[in-house]
Copies of this chain bind each other. A is one copy, B any other.
Amino acid sequence: MDKFVNVAEIGPRDGFQSISCMMIPTETKLEVIEAIIDAGVSHLQCTSFVSPKAIAQMQDATEIVQTLLEKHPDLDLFALVPNFRGAQSAVAAGLKKVSSVISLSVSHNMNNVRRTHEQSFDELKRIMDTFPELHIELDVATAFGCPFEGEMTIPALVDFVGKAYDLGIRSFNICDTIGVAYPSQVSASFQALMAAYPDVHFSVHIHDTRNMGILNSLEAVRCGVDTVQTTLGGLGGCPFAPGASGNTATEDFVYLLEREGYETGIDQKKLLAAAKLEVEKIPGNYSGHHIHIDTEWPDPARCTPEGRA
């Protein structure tokens, strides 16, 4: 299955957390998530276990997780945990897998989780030691660039992954947190990482801030990355910058992959319907393109050569 790509939906975390104008009802979140699962998505980051003071939108994390675990025991379900306390809550809710997060950029890590690299790696080790059965994927934030420090270097990225590798981490999600990666940087980064750690699983998470989300995501796939994180409708971005983009849009990326001859196991029509449902139910900042297309293509019935279409 060389050409199979896992499109991992993370909108219920990275997308929903961008909505600050309203508390999305838990049943609305679950309705959208069910539509996503029904379309064939089998990898889902459904929430984050974070302080409600930091992100109130995620306060129903336990209910979301427990409802989904009960209905979909075979789903690859996971949540983001920013610290030990979050991991505790995730495990208590029944999760077997979490995303932990450390920024490659020291300044960004300090801004994001108020920790030095050393403190963050200590916290990661504490989680690993306390929950030895928990599958921990490490999100490497600002892996390509930091808002304060600028472009990151590939040797720094490889060294950073090595530190977590030495602790025992074998799953990494390489994140373009602020959407500044470019294709040749993405391919050089994954080539270096895969050469250095052949027994590691890598996924990729690209923000579409500068209109390169799909391009950089495909570049990673072309390097052999088999898992790409995306958000339905491209929901995300910053609530204070109305048009700023979130992640690569799931349905746009699946369309591209299928046209390029990859397999995703996802039903495109159902996925697009789920995206339109989400747009209808949850007012937010959507950057996806397919959600605006109302016509089938091709459509021979629209061919009326006698008149002007």
| Residues of chain A having any CB pair with chain B under 8 Å | 107, 110-111, 114, 145-151, 178, 180, 182-185, 208-212, 214-215, 218, 241-245, 249, 252, 255-256, 259-261, 287-295, 297-300, 302-305, 307-309
Residues in B neighbouring A241, C-beta threshold 8 A: 292-294
* Contact pick for A214, options B107, B178, B215, B308, CB 8 Å: B215
Given A149-B298, A178-B297, 9 additional A-B pairs, CB 8 A: A147-B309, A182-B256, A184-B261, A208-B289, A209-B289, A211-B256, A241-B292, A241-B294, A244-B289
Residues in B neighbouring A182, C-beta threshold 8 A: 256, 259-260
Residues in B neighbouring A242, C-beta threshold 8 A: 292
* Contact assessment for B300 and A149 in the assembled complex, using a CB-CB cutoff below 8 Å: yes
* Contact assessment for B302 and A148 in the assembled complex, using a CB-CB cutoff below 8 Å: yes
* Contact assessment for A298 and B148 in the assembled complex, using a CB-CB cutoff below 8 Å: yes
* Contact assessment for A111 and B212 in the assembled complex, using a CB-CB cutoff below 8 Å: no
* Contact assessment for B297 and A256 in the assembled complex, using a CB-CB cutoff below 8 Å: no
* Contact assessment for B111 and A305 in the assembled complex, using a CB-CB cutoff below 8 Å: yes
Q: How far is the CB of A152 from chain B (nearest CB, A)?
A: 10
